[in-house]
Structure 1
C-alpha cells in the first residue's frame, strides 16, 4: 500500500514531478477544451497581452493532476476529492516551459461522520524552469486511514 492518511504530515512538501509543454499538445488541448486565440496559434498569442502562444490554465492544471495521480496517488488510499477551493494562474505557461509541481500538506483531520477516512487540505504549486511561480491550487482530498481509530 502506498501513502495513507497517517503518512501525510502537516507542513511536508512533496516534489511531484516535471512536465515540458510542447506546442502540439498546447494547441491540441486548446482545440478540444479552451479554444481561445492565444492558446490556438502563435499569431493569436502575439496579438494578445501574452505576446505569444500560451497553454490554457486548465491544461496546466490537468497536467498537474496527471502528475499527482501517476507519481503520488497511485496505490495510495486516496478516495477522491470534495473539491478545489482556489486556483490562481499567476503567470502564463509558455511553449517550452518545464513546470515542476510540488504538493504541500496544509492541514488534515479525521472525518467526524466517517472515521475511516481523513480530509487533507493541500496546496499545489507549479514553478517554471526559471523558478517563477506559475500556478497555485488549494484543494482537499479524502484519504483512507490505514488503522481507523488510531490517527488524529
Structure 2
C-alpha cells in the first residue's frame, strides 16, 4: 500500500510540473500574440509589405550545436524604401535601407528546422524566418511563407534599383 501511495504522489508531482510548464507556455504565447497584434495595428498607413517573423542576430545558423533556432520574434515591414524590423521586446529594433542592404537566402541544413533569409548592412546581420507551425495559439493569420517574404523583398529592391 505504501508503494502505491508513493507512486501516486510521484505521478501527481509529475502532472503538476507538466501542467505548470503548459500554463507558462500558453501564457507566454498569448503575451507574444498580443504584442505582435499591437505592433501590427499601430503601423503607418503606407506600409508596402508586413509580416510577423522570428529572428536570430549574427551567424547562429552556422553553428553545429544550437540551443534554439530563433532568438525572438517581431514584425518586419517596408515603409518609404526602408525595411524596418521591430522586435516585440523593443530590444533589437533596426532599420535597413532597402537600396544599400544585402538580402540573401540561407539554407539551414544543420538543425533542419527551417530555411531563412538574412538582411545585412554595415551595422548588423539579422536572420529572419516565418514560423508556419500549426500551434494552438497561432499568430497573425495573414502571414506569408519565408520564401514568399524573401522574394517580395528582393522584388521591391529590384524595383527600387530600376527606378533610379
TM-score (norm 2): 0.26
Higher normalized helix content (fraction of residues): 2
TM-score, structure 1 length as denominator?
A: 0.28
Structure number with greater CO (CA < 8 Å, separation at least 6) is: 1
Highest Rg: 1 or 2? 2
